[in-house]
Amino acid sequence: MKKILFINPNINNTVFGKMKMLALPPMGLGVLASRTPDTYEVSIVDEMVDTLDFDVKANLVAVTATTGQAPRAYRIMEEFRKRGIPTVMGGIHASVMTEEASRYADVVAVGEADELWPQILNDYETGTLKKIYRATVFPGLKGIPKIDRSLFSKKYMIHSVQTSRGCPCNCSFCSVTKFNGARYRFRSIKDVVEEIEEIKEKRFFIADDSIVGLGKEGIEHARTLFKNLKGMGKSWGSQVCITIAEHDGLLRAAAEAGANTFYIGFESIETESLKFMDKGVNMRPMIKNYKDTIKKFHEHGIGVIGGFILGSDGDNRDIFEKTIEFVHETGIDGCQFTIMTPFPGTRLYEQMRNEARLLYTNYPEDWVRYNAYEAVIEPRNMTIDELKTGWRSVYDGTSTFGASLKRSMKTFKNTGSFTNASINLFWNYYNYKAIKDFNF
């Protein structure tokens, strides 16, 4: 029986290499493995939690990669090609940097590979593999086969599911709309619930870009999902658009269904920065006051982990101290502070390249720096050193063990949940520890 090895590379020598405990299973590889005929033996290696053995026996190797993972992905494929094993590369980076990827992979899959994968395997069997396969449509999600979770490592702290793909927000820094489309596509609620029931752990994460989409269809999908999750006895977290706060009934339904933590892309507390990012959705009248919005989540017993991007063209030198004050004033439970990063395929990347503000362009080696934790562009309103120092100061001011403990106690007071308090204590302090000795 021929063996196919699916690989999710690590991002070496960066803060991500120290954040293995926050890793989630590579769902995209799980989907492709589920679409592989049972005439093949399949296995998945995720370097975020496991070690890859280059001498493992395989007949075909398939590698996914984000931009920060690309240099490692290229090295992995070089090693297997030296051994005479054909390689396939897919994912967002290969889809936007196809010519580059084709120098390192025998086959490049451009776009979502759900429908491409059976064709690639058929051509592999007949010896007619093409160099590039391009998805011409965004596939429907109603018939996605059930993922075989036994293929995933046993080392993940939490498992995840996906209920939808796509995002209409189209923020200037984000490649989701380009890769997954501007329209939400939904899986069958029945299939999602059955998949969740098979997760042995009581906690799981919904890995949608937003569990509640914009518009009536997205809201109804979420409402139906929450109704079906109610009474399962599980607790979960998810990424969600801040617009869910406009719907008290939806927040209540989520809490009754077991939601205990939402990750929300606040991105910035500065209006000019939100405008620069094309994040207009965060400035809608009912939600632009972040403090009141966070209070709404707490009133429903749901903790909030906020994502913030520092160093955009709308930020001045005072953004760091303002952000620290905001964290403590609002009682936001958890935070992730990243640095404005222009990923290829985004409008931000094109702007930075046209303005000659990219600091590292020795590709593909320098792609490893494009990981959202390094300064890779020349800031407009501060020096590079001021950005680096300011970014670290925000973590120092909010996420040391003492600060994280105080915030977790506030989480318990706000939500009445020991689980929420524990999750956010872990999240804040573990992120702080991961970046503490990070040099760039």
Q: Do 33 and 3 touch, CB atoms closer than 8 A?
A: no
Quick one: 395 and 259 in the same domain?
A: yes
Q: Round to whole Å and give the CA distance between 383 and 390.
A: 10
Quick one: 50 and 194 in the same domain?
A: no
Domain assignment present for residue 252? The answer is yes
Q: Round to whole Å and give the CA distance between 345 and 178.
A: 7
Domain assignment present for residue 17? The answer is yes
Average pLDDT value for residue range 404-422: 89
Quick one: 327 and 399 in the same domain?
A: yes
Domain assignment present for residue 369? The answer is no
Domain assignment present for residue 127? The answer is yes
How sure is the predictor about 138, in pLDDT bands with cuts at 50, 70 and 90? confident
Q: What is the pTM of this model?
A: 0.92
Quick one: 199 and 283 in the same domain?
A: yes
**Residue ending a domain, choose from 99, 134, 169:** 134
Quick one: 261 and 397 in the same domain?
A: yes
Report the helix count and the strand count for the chain, using DSSP H and E: 16, 14
Strand partners, 138: none
| Strand, helix or coil for residue 230 | coil
Tokens 């994460």: give the residue.
Answer: 205
Q: What is the CATH number of the domain that holds 303?
A: 3.80.30.20
How sure is the predictor about 439, in pLDDT bands with cuts at 50, 70 and 90? low
How sure is the predictor about 230, in pLDDT bands with cuts at 50, 70 and 90? very high
Quick one: 201 and 257 in the same domain?
A: yes
Quick one: 257 and 399 in the same domain?
A: yes
Average pLDDT, the chain: 91
Q: What is the CATH number of the domain that holds 55?
A: 3.40.50.2300
Which residue in 153, 155, 160, 257 sits closest to 205, CA to CA?
A: 160
Average pLDDT value for residue range 367-382: 95
Which residue in 209, 167, 172 sits closest to 377, CA to CA?
A: 172
Number of domains in the chain: 2
Domain assignment present for residue 371? The answer is no
43 has a pLDDT exceeding 80: yes
Average pLDDT value for residue range 111-136: 95
Residue pLDDT, tens place only, 240-251: 988 898 888 999
How sure is the predictor about 298, in pLDDT bands with cuts at 50, 70 and 90? very high
Average pLDDT value for residue range 56-64: 97
Tokens 């190797």: give the residue.
Answer: 61
Domain assignment present for residue 249? The answer is yes
More confident residue, 126 or 217: 126
Per-residue confidence (pLDDT) for residue 142, from 0 to 100:
82
Residue pLDDT, tens place only, 192-215: 999 999 998 899 999 998 888 777
Quick one: 127 and 214 in the same domain?
A: no
Per-residue CA distances from 280 to 9, 238, 274 (Å)? 34, 21, 7
Domain assignment present for residue 240? The answer is yes
Per-residue confidence (pLDDT) for residue 144, from 0 to 100:
82
Average pLDDT value for residue range 318-336: 95
* DSSP code per residue over 242-290: GGGGG-HHHHHHHHHTTEEEEEEEEE-S-HHHHHHTT-GGGGSTTTS-H
Average pLDDT value for residue range 178-192: 88
Quick one: 180 and 114 in the same domain?
A: no
Average pLDDT value for residue range 258-282: 92
% residues pLDDT > 70 (the chain): 96
21 has a pLDDT exceeding 80: no
% residues pLDDT > 90 (the chain): 72
Q: Which domain holds residue 428?
A: 158-340+379-436
| Strand, helix or coil for residue 28 | helix
**Residue ending a domain, choose from 70, 102, 134:** 134
Quick one: 231 and 124 in the same domain?
A: no
Quick one: 7 and 88 in the same domain?
A: yes
Domain assignment present for residue 145? The answer is no
Quick one: 128 and 194 in the same domain?
A: no
Q: Which of 57-61, 142-146, 150-154 has the lowest mean pLDDT?
A: 142-146
151 has a pLDDT exceeding 90: yes
